[in-house]
Amino acid sequence: MVKVRVLDTAALISWPISDLYGGLIVPHQEEELLRISPDRAVLLESLGLVYSQPDETSLNSAVTAAKQSGDISGMSETDLALVSLALGRSALLITDDYRMQNVATILDIEWQGVSEVGIGQVWAWTLICSGCRSEFEAPNSTSAKQKNYGECKNCGSALKLKRKK
């Protein structure tokens, strides 16, 4: 199963819409987004994002870690809430903010940069046969929007695009 992801506002803005589905965010980010990117904010409702609040224990741990590392002075409440949320849910934290990354590292939270996952990264795709499940090499990464991938050489069933784990 794919790990639950806590999404930084930068991810909400720059990631393809389809990659945001199921992401955890804190309510305050909607205000931020309305300010920075109103068009995106309007879309939020339909994106399948999950509004969530960090639990008290996680929040305390994050604040303590941020104080110890000295990062707290440069962190907003949203930043702290997102780190805490990732901690409490054992989620993957998506952020380009080095302070958040630093505190996450201290707390042993797995994190990833926004641009690493978004447009910057080329997903690995594979074509899988809907019949015999044979796998074939995908044409290329940009064909993800295309619907028809032809037929299986082995059994003639339709091929479907699947992201490699």
Contacting range for Zn ion; rule: CB under 5 A; set: 6-14, 68-76, 112-120, 125-133: 125-133
Q: Is 132 in the site for Zn ion (CB under 5 A)?
A: yes
Give the Cα separation of 54 and 42 in Å (integer).
24
Q: Minimum Å distance from CB 135 to Zn ion? A: 10
Count of positions on this chain that bind Zn ion (CB under 5 A) = 8
Helices of type H across 2-153: 9-14, 28-36, 38-44, 56-69, 77-89, 98-106, 114-117
Q: Is 158 in the site for Zn ion (CB under 5 A)?
A: no
Packed helices 28-36 and 77-89: angle between N→C axes, nearest 10 degrees: 130
Helices of type H across 70-152: 77-89, 98-106, 114-117
Q: Minimum Å distance from CB 129 to Zn ion? A: 3
Q: Is 151 in the site for Zn ion (CB under 5 A)?
A: no
Q: Is 128 in the site for Zn ion (CB under 5 A)?
A: no
Give the residues lining the site for Zn ion (CB under 5 A): 129, 131-132, 134, 152, 154-155, 157
